[in-house]
């Protein structure tokens, strides 16, 4: 009996001393503000200490990509990052991020893509605004770099048509040589207001009336599946903008790794969801009110942590509870149908999987050829081949010859990443 009490006391002491490292971002970012709020609430409610990290030795400025690299290397235990980012090749990795054990906890809020320009420019199109200009972006390793490049490319603006200027988040402002600045951040970030007050205006790449009804932004999101259309209402920033803005957004997400205990993750997500209104009002931060447990796990780049699953399924009735009466009435019919249905479902899945596997093989075959390209023509032809392959996949999806499942989503993401790699190879060829 004494031994049991001792073990319980030791367990209680260890649980009360739960300290973890939490990478957020510089003080001027939404990551920092949200990270501080979450850290304070979690420590107050659960005695779980999340030591927020806004700087890290050897890294000039934390951002979505750098945070992911820190989590991959287990330099930190929790991070806020961008749902669509991947590790660059400079990271010495021994496997994919999923194999490494990176896991999702919760999507937090939408990071909105803002294209802000000096109002005297009066552009008639996105191409006219971007082509031939210096475009202010955040740090080169940040998530905005990849997102903006993919966005402009989808609108037919080649990477050679503009000059990206990579600067710290704080330095990404207008200047004599910079007339256009791009941001990917929470809608209430003060940097947006400061740019607007400096004579800036937000560009709308699509018609808000056509949102979710065939707009250009819908087309971008179809090919960039981790993004979604987003409307910035008029007068969000005092009297600006004077008209609604249709743009795209990608979620900021809270990630950890699989070695974190399930009960720790359970308590963290419980605090975030159940105390969000108090956190939002006490910290005067509108982004917090957008936290929600109602999301599709399939829209997250990384699998859910088991602790997050436990919380999200806490009130879910068991199969027996939900179908007890139906099972009692239909058991005899189910026995006869199970064999047939199982055979049909298995056949359909195998058929769809075999088809998507062929697409994977074609994409990976092209990826292996990238290092051997030594001319722009080869790069352009490879990109055209990939786009034709993507169009063919969507046509088969419409004809229901392919299934819109996780495998298809991964295929589209892989294809877009390889197109990006070819553009990088093309730039290297141009330099040489």
Q: Dump pLDDT digits (tens) for 49-65.
A: 999 999 999 988 899 99
Domain contains 1:
no
Reply yes or no on whether the pLDDT at 308 is more than 80.
Answer: yes
- Could you tell me which residues are beta bridge partners of residue 206? 246
Domain contains 166:
yes
The reported pLDDT for the residue numbered 247 is: 96
The reported pLDDT for the residue numbered 91 is: 57
Q: How many domains does the chain have?
A: 3
Cα separation, 261 vs 94, in Å, equals 24
Instruction: Examine the domain organization and report whether 45 and 61 are in the same domain.
Output: yes
Domain contains 296:
yes
Instruction: Examine the domain organization and report whether 258 and 191 are in the same domain.
Output: no
Instruction: Examine the domain organization and report whether 48 and 33 are in the same domain.
Output: yes
Reply yes or no on whether the pLDDT at 151 is more than 90.
Answer: yes
Question: Which residues lie below 8 Å from residue 155, measured CB to CB, with a gap of 6+?
Answer: 126, 127, 205, 216, 220
Beta strand 18-23 with 78-82: parallel, antiparallel or unpaired?
parallel
* CA nearest neighbour of 84 among 155, 144, 25: 144
The reported pLDDT for the residue numbered 400 is: 78
Least confident of 261-265, 266-270, 376-380, 399-403: 399-403
pLDDT tens sequence across 115-128: 999 999 999 999 99
pLDDT band of residue 12 (cuts 50, 70, 90) is: very low
Instruction: Examine the domain organization and report whether 91 and 121 are in the same domain.
Output: no
Cα separation, 216 vs 323, in Å, equals 44
The reported pLDDT for the residue numbered 371 is: 86
Cα separation, 126 vs 234, in Å, equals 20
The reported pLDDT for the residue numbered 94 is: 63
The reported pLDDT for the residue numbered 290 is: 87
Reply yes or no on whether the pLDDT at 352 is more than 60.
Answer: no
Domain termination site, one of 312, 333, 358: 312
Domain contains 408:
yes
Ramachandran bin of 122, using left for φ above 0, alpha for ψ from -120 to 50, beta for the remaining angles: left
pLDDT band of residue 336 (cuts 50, 70, 90) is: low
The reported pLDDT for the residue numbered 13 is: 43
Average pLDDT for 35-60 = 92
Instruction: Examine the domain organization and report whether 274 and 354 are in the same domain.
Output: no
Tokens of 219: 């087309």
Least confident of 104-108, 172-176, 207-211, 220-224: 207-211
Cα separation, 130 vs 334, in Å, equals 61
CATH number of the domain where residue 86 is located? 3.40.190.10
What is the number of other CB atoms lying within 10 angstroms of the CB of residue 240? 18
Domain termination site, one of 312, 331, 362: 312
Reply yes or no on whether the pLDDT at 279 is more than 50.
Answer: yes
Domain contains 265:
yes
Average pLDDT of the residues of the chain: 86
What is the number of other CB atoms lying within 10 angstroms of the CB of residue 275? 19
Domain contains 267:
yes
The reported pLDDT for the residue numbered 62 is: 92
Instruction: Examine the domain organization and report whether 203 and 274 are in the same domain.
Output: no
Q: Phi/psi of residue 185, each to 5°?
A: -160, 175
Instruction: Examine the domain organization and report whether 45 and 145 are in the same domain.
Output: no
Domain contains 2:
no
Tokens of 3: 């031994």
Determine the structural domain holding residue 144 and report its residue range: 110-252
The reported pLDDT for the residue numbered 211 is: 84
Instruction: Examine the domain organization and report whether 150 and 193 are in the same domain.
Output: yes
Average pLDDT for 368-382 = 88
Domain termination site, one of 312, 334, 362: 312
The reported pLDDT for the residue numbered 42 is: 93
Instruction: Examine the domain organization and report whether 298 and 336 are in the same domain.
Output: no
Instruction: Examine the domain organization and report whether 248 and 261 are in the same domain.
Output: no
Say how many residues make up the chain: 432
Instruction: Examine the domain organization and report whether 248 and 288 are in the same domain.
Output: no
Instruction: Examine the domain organization and report whether 121 and 95 are in the same domain.
Output: no
More confident residue, 117 or 329: 117
Domain contains 3:
no
């Amino acid at each position: 009996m004494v031994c049991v009490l001792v073990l319980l006391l030791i367990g209680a002491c260890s649980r009360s001393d739960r300290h973890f490292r939490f990478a957020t971002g510089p003080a001027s970012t939404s990551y920092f503000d949200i990270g501080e709020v979450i850290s304070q609430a979690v420590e107050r409610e659960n005695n779980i200490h999340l030591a927020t990290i806004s700087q890290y030795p050897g890294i000039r400025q934390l951002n979505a990509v750098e945070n992911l690299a820190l989590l991959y290397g287990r330099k930190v235990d929790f991070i806020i990052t961008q749902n669509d980012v991947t590790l660059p090749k400079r990271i010495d990795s021994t496997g994919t991020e999923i194999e490494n054990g990176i896991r999702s906890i919760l999507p937090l809020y939408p990071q909105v893509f803002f294209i802000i320009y000096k109002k005297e420019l009066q552009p008639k199109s996105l191409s006219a605004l971007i082509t031939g200009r210096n475009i202010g972006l955040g740090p080169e390793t940040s998530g905005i770099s990849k997102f903006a490049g993919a966005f402009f490319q989808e609108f037919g603006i080649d990477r050679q048509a503009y000059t990206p200027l990579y600067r710290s988040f704080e330095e990404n402002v207008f200047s004599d040589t910079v007339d256009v600045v791009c941001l990917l951040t929470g809608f209430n970030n003060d940097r947006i207001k400061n740019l607007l007050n400096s004579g800036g205006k937000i560009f709308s790449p699509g018609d808000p009336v056509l949102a979710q009804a065939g707009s250009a932004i819908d087309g971008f999101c179809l090919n960039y599946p981790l993004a979604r259309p987003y409307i910035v209402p008029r007068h969000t920033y005092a009297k600006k903008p004077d008209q609604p803005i249709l743009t795209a957004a990608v979620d900021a997400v809270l990630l950890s790794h699989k070695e974190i205990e399930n009960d720790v993750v359970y308590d963290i997500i419980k605090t975030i969801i159940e105390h969000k209104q108090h956190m939002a009002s006490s910290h005067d931060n509108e982004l917090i009110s957008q936290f929600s447990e109602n999301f599709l796990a399939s829209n997250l780049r990384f699998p859910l942590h088991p602790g997050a699953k436990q919380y999200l399924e806490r009130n879910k009735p068991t199969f027996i509870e939900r179908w007890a009466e139906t099972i009692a009435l239909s058991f005899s019919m189910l026995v006869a149908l199970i064999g047939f249905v199982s055979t049909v479902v298995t056949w359909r899945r195998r058929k769809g999987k075999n088809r998507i596997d062929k697409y994977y093989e074609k994409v990976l075959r092209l990826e292996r050829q990238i290092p051997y390209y030594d001319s722009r023509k080869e790069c352009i032809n490879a990109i055209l081949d990939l786009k034709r392959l993507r169009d063919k996949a969507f046509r088969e999806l419409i004809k229901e010859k392919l299934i819109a499942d996780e495998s298809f989503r991964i295929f589209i993401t892989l294809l877009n990443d390889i197109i990006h790699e070819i553009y990088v190879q093309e730039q290297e060829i141009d330099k040489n």
